[in-house]
Structure 1
Amino acid sequence: MGWSRQLKLAVSFSVLLLVMPFNADVASARVASLIPMGQSIGIKMELSGIFVTNDVMVEDDHWLKAGDLIEQVDQVEVKALADFEKMATGLDDEQAIVLQVKQSVQTNQIKTDGEAMKRLLPFLKDRTEGTGTLTYVDPEKGTYGALGHQIIDSTLKSPPSFKNGAIYLSEIDQIKKSVPGIPGYKISTVVEDEDFLGTIRINGVYGIFGAWNDAHKKVLAEPLEIMQPSELKVGEAKIFTTVKGTTVEPFSIEITQVDAEQFQFILTDAALLEATGGILQGMSGSPVIQDGKFVGAVTHMFVDEPKKGAGLFLEKMRSGEK
């Protein structure tokens, strides 16, 4: 789906949020307003090769490990899983094969056979998918930002190396509520598989970023002024997010603590709590608004207290767009 040293019980939706120095003077010279979003998105990334998802023995004591990258089959380069599958299904079970595999920092030649190649197929992937929330669109640059954290592939346990990717509008079909100790999640489907909202250029510590598809101007709200961290006050605020269908709704929260790099809050909206039980996996990236200004994005929750969460200031998030 914690990113702060202060939130030891917090669960990050993907990765630790690293703290980097931030120059407020530089921030003030940037674009003064961005469009807050809140739509649920499906994320699809085409990986830069064929990766092993589980430890698999391919010959005697020779193992492929989760995260290994298959580069060649009998000196023929393979980049797509469909090509590997075509080669594997055309082999006799006893036919000798040599795989070139990048394992950690070194490349190894591993002998195997046709039967092991076929057995390997269910444990390979050349793409990764996920869900999250769209945070903002920059109408001047034609770019977007989402999630507020890095995507970590659940099987590779690392940020995936990818060739290209895109985000898509998704529809919430069902909610699995959060309860203390067990984060809930959204069950969603992509609305139009061929109609993307934007491309993915960066998968960084502070989120995913890329070019916005101008064809989707119809889903945009009005830009809001960016709030500087020094302006945020303890007290009432709103988050924009989607918990049903594709409709973005505002929900009440209470800002409880403001730090230099982030802020903490509690969900106070009765309707939202009834629907979700607290913050959900997939809610990361939801815009936070106070006094008509764009504060930042929801980034993580407390596992044992799902009503409590934390967020990243917008200017800090935008520093990852470079």
Structure 2
Amino acid sequence: MKKAIRIFDVILSFICAIIFAVVAWGNAYLPGTMVCYDNDSNRLAGVFSLADGDATLAVDVQSSSPHKSTLKLFGAIPVKEVMVSQSEPKKVMVSGEAFGIKLYTDGVIVVGVQDVQTDSGKRNPAKECGIEVGDVIVSIDNINVYTSDDVQSILCDNNGTSFDVKIKRGERYKSLTLTPVYCEREGCYKAGMWVRDSTAGIGTITFYNQNSGIFAALGHQINDVDTKEIMPMLDGEAVVATVKKTEKSTRGTTGSLECDFQSQTIGRLLNNTDCGIYGAFAQIPDCAREYPVASVQEVKKGSATLICTVESGKPKEYDIEIVRISYNESNREKNMIVRITDSELIEKTGGIVQGMSGSPIIQNGKLIGALTHVIVGNPQKGYAVFAQTMVEQSEND
């Protein structure tokens, strides 16, 4: 009898340990907010449920206004408090075509500082006054500057006088006093810094939101190539691009799409965010198809498809696999890890290359996300952002 009791205790302890582990996993892994776009079931239903007072609801049946609910395991064991809401079903026009990016900054970015040779030795006026790489110069002597030519014409036209320089560093503004020094060798005054005012590149259109008139692309922000800081966008243009060549990725080396920019405009860029770039579109291309948008809790590990353009012609659909999902990832560009499984795409690109960022991901007939970054050590793998995040951003712009 004692042996049977010991066996029972061991089994009970094992079951309790499993339940505790599942609860701990759910508390850390499952999303703290849930949005339901329709009444379709999702991957959490049947295991986890939401309790509103005395009523227990499947996680895909929620009230229309945002409210707190308790997420329970098997309808009985509390896991965590979550904020739930229900939204009207959302649909967008999904394309996947490559496009050209022309972006102009709001101010000029300091991309480097350099000593100036003077009669009394080397000096660095920019560094001496407190300017750092990554700072954005907003104005000089209360004159707004938008191009590197603006900065050069103001600073070089002086006889050693000082300038009041307003910079933006992160989210804070600072006022500094910059005094250029005379460079005998070049015969002019120099501030000892390099600045940049624009950038260009290639990306992929994710979708067109007809309700808001906004298109979304890239799935990640555009950073300055030198400072790695987000480009402070003043204005920008998205243009049609034709893929002329694909440089394949290899382990440790990122390939890229090489494109020719066309004169036809897709739209005007409005916002550069951590989950993509957004703009007002002029028209929707013929290659775009309408897809419903999946909520984040509908995304599942397993097979999916990627729509992208890696050669001349229209976008094509290729097989991929969702290998990891992170609901609570603080970096919104890395909610999923995907793996390219399509042999045709691997043959053409080696996996994921620069320019494929923004390629829409389809699963079970819904848009679930967009490709963002390649994993350089294994170019057949990369990161992706949830479509729900991008669609919500497109409706806020």
Q: Percent identity between the aligned chains?
A: 27
For residues 15-54 of structure 1, give each alpha carbon's deviation from its aligned partner in whole angstroms, at most 9, with x where no partner exists: xxxx995431477514521111111122222212233221
Instruction: Provide closer, same or farther for how the CA distance between residues 73 and 291 of structure 1 changes in structure 2, counting only shifts above 3 A.
Output: closer
Supply the distance in 2 between the matched residues of 1:35 and 1:42 (Cα, whole angstroms): 19
Pairing 1:109–2:177 present: yes
Secondary structure, counterpart of 2:362 in structure 1: strand
Instruction: Provide closer, same or farther for how the CA distance between residues 266 and 71 of structure 1 changes in structure 2, counting only shifts above 3 A.
Output: closer
Supply the distance in 2 between the matched residues of 1:69 and 1:259 (Cα, whole angstroms): 33
Correspondence for 1:127 among 198, 202, 212: 198
Instruction: Provide closer, same or farther for how the CA distance between residues 39 and 218 of structure 1 changes in structure 2, counting only shifts above 3 A.
Output: closer
Letter in 2 for 1:38: G
- 1:247-258 residue pairs with structure 2 within 5 A? 247-258=314-325
Letter in 1 for 2:362: I
Instruction: Provide closer, same or farther for how the CA distance between residues 41 and 119 of structure 1 changes in structure 2, counting only shifts above 3 A.
Output: farther
Offset of residue 277 of structure 1: 0.6
Match of 2:309 in 1: 242
Correspondence for 1:50 among 104, 108, 123: 108
Supply the distance in 1 between the matched residues of 2:187 and 2:106 (Cα, whole angstroms): 23
Match of 1:209 in 2: 278
Instruction: Provide closer, same or farther for how the CA distance between residues 257 and 47 of structure 1 changes in structure 2, counting only shifts above 3 A.
Output: closer
Match of 1:9 in 2: none
Pairing 1:80–2:147 present: yes
Secondary structure, counterpart of 2:222 in structure 1: coil
Supply the distance in 1 between the matched residues of 2:189 and 2:32 (Cα, whole angstroms): 50
For residues 94-131 of structure 1, give each alpha carbon's deviation from its aligned partner in whole angstroms, at most 9, with x where no partner exists: x4343433454532222224848676799322212232
Match of 2:235 in 1: 164
Letter in 2 for 1:110: L
Offset of residue 320 of structure 1: 2.7
Supply the distance in 2 between the matched residues of 1:57 and 1:75 (Cα, whole angstroms): 26
Correspondence for 2:265 among 163, 182, 196: 196
- 1:15-54 residue pairs with structure 2 within 5 A? 22-25=33-36, 28-54=86-112
Match of 2:255 in 1: 184
Any conservation in 1 of the 2:110–2:136 contact (CA below 8 Å)? Answer: yes
Instruction: Provide closer, same or farther for how the CA distance between residues 108 and 247 of structure 1 changes in structure 2, counting only shifts above 3 A.
Output: same
Pairing 1:66–2:124 present: no
RMSD: 3.1
- Residue correspondences, number: 297
Q: Which runs of 5+ in 1 are unaligned?
A: 1-18
Instruction: Provide closer, same or farther for how the CA distance between residues 20 and 148 of structure 1 changes in structure 2, counting only shifts above 3 A.
Output: farther
Correspondence for 1:98 among 148, 154, 162: 162
Secondary structure, counterpart of 1:304 in structure 2: coil
Any conservation in 1 of the 2:373–2:382 contact (CA below 8 Å)? Answer: yes
Offset of residue 84 of structure 1: 3.9
Offset of residue 141 of structure 1: 1.9
Offset of residue 286 of structure 1: 0.3
Offset of residue 56 of structure 1: 2.1
Letter in 1 for 2:123: D
Letter in 2 for 1:247: K
Correspondence for 1:297 among 370, 375, 395: 370
Secondary structure, counterpart of 2:369 in structure 1: strand
Q: Which runs of 5+ in 2 are unaligned?
A: 1-29, 37-65, 67-84, 127-131, 329-334
Greater RCO (CA < 8 Å, at least 6 residues apart): 1
Letter in 1 for 2:279: G
Supply the distance in 2 between the matched residues of 1:77 and 1:203 (Cα, whole angstroms): 21
Any conservation in 1 of the 2:318–2:345 contact (CA below 8 Å)? Answer: yes
Any conservation in 1 of the 2:108–2:146 contact (CA below 8 Å)? Answer: yes
Supply the distance in 2 between the matched residues of 1:97 and 1:74 (Cα, whole angstroms): 11
